[in-house]
Structure 1
Amino acid sequence: MGLTGKLVAAIEFRAGGDLFHELFRYNPQHISTTTPDKVQGCDLHEGEFGKVGSLICWRYTHDGEKKTAKQLIQAIDEEKKSIEFKMLEGDLMKLYKDFLITLHIDTKDGIDLVTWTLEYETLHDDVEHPISLLAYFIDITKDIESHHLEKA
């Protein structure tokens, strides 16, 4: 029996929360342009970018290793600017029974926060919690912010 867990990080995003949400919802294939050392591509396998029920596959580098992740876009909430990605296949599924990545944008007092939530169940008790993956998502958020602030 594995361990269940939930990790959350909220990062201020000065380039605009709408931009971040729309990038991940409608144009995830462009993320590799803003952070090529971390994300090498996002391919559509079934459905349509930005639609619930679509299947996408990421090619990325994490902890110095090339990896893949096949995900189902499980839910989208435009009001909350949130997207849920359910992991189906790939490197993470060698360690985790279930893995759900949710990103959403909160705006408070004119400040946009990108919030990443990782919910998971490990396959075994000795599997580490995905803290380095959460740090990876924080770094991607910062890279996207820097890229868009430089363009402004």
Structure 2
Amino acid sequence: MALHGKIETTLELKSSAEKFYKVWRSQSFHVPKHASKHIQGVEIHAGDWETVGSIRIWQYTIVDRNS
């Protein structure tokens, strides 16, 4: 079963916008190391880390702040 939707959040960065974009675009395998509480892993399903259109599988936890 697939879940479709939109997730938004606001956070304060301690880096430049260019460095943040580079990590999300081509170095997303680093994200679980820095946000392990919320993002447990990311894997390549098709393509690679650099190519536009590559498919990545993200394992993450959604925290309901209302409960």
Structure 2 match to 1:43:
43
Runs of 4+ aligned residues of structure 1 deviating over 4 Å after TM superposition are 6-12
Structure showing greater relative contact order (alpha-carbon pairs closer than 8 Å, 6 or more residues apart): 1
TM-aligned CA deviation for residue 11 of structure 1: 5.5
TM-score, structure 1 as length reference: 0.34
From the superposition, tell whether residues 8 and 60 of structure 1 become closer, same or farther in structure 2 (CA, over 3 Å).
closer
Root mean square deviation, CA, Å = 2.6
**Which whole-Å CA distance do the structure 2 matches of 1:50 and 1:57 have between them?**
15
TM-aligned CA deviation for residue 29 of structure 1: 1.1
**Which whole-Å CA distance do the structure 2 matches of 1:43 and 1:19 have between them?**
21
TM-aligned CA deviation for residue 12 of structure 1: 5.4
Structure 2 match to 1:19:
19
TM-aligned CA deviation for residue 9 of structure 1: 6.5
Letter in 1 for 2:24: F
Between the aligned residues of both structures, percent identity stands at 25
TM-aligned CA deviation for residue 7 of structure 1: 8.4
- Compare CA radii of gyration and give the structure with the larger one: 1
Query: What do residues 108-142 of structure 1 show as CA deviations (whole Å, max 9, x unaligned)?
Result: xxxxxxxxxxxxxxxxxxxxxxxx7xxxxxxxxxx
Query: What do residues 17-71 of structure 1 show as CA deviations (whole Å, max 9, x unaligned)?
Result: 111001001111110111100000110011111322211000011126xxxxxxx
From the superposition, tell whether residues 19 and 46 of structure 1 become closer, same or farther in structure 2 (CA, over 3 Å).
same
> Which consecutive residues of structure 2, in runs of 5 or more, have no partner in the other structure?
1-5
More strand by share: 1
> Which consecutive residues of structure 1, in runs of 5 or more, have no partner in the other structure?
1-5, 65-131, 133-152
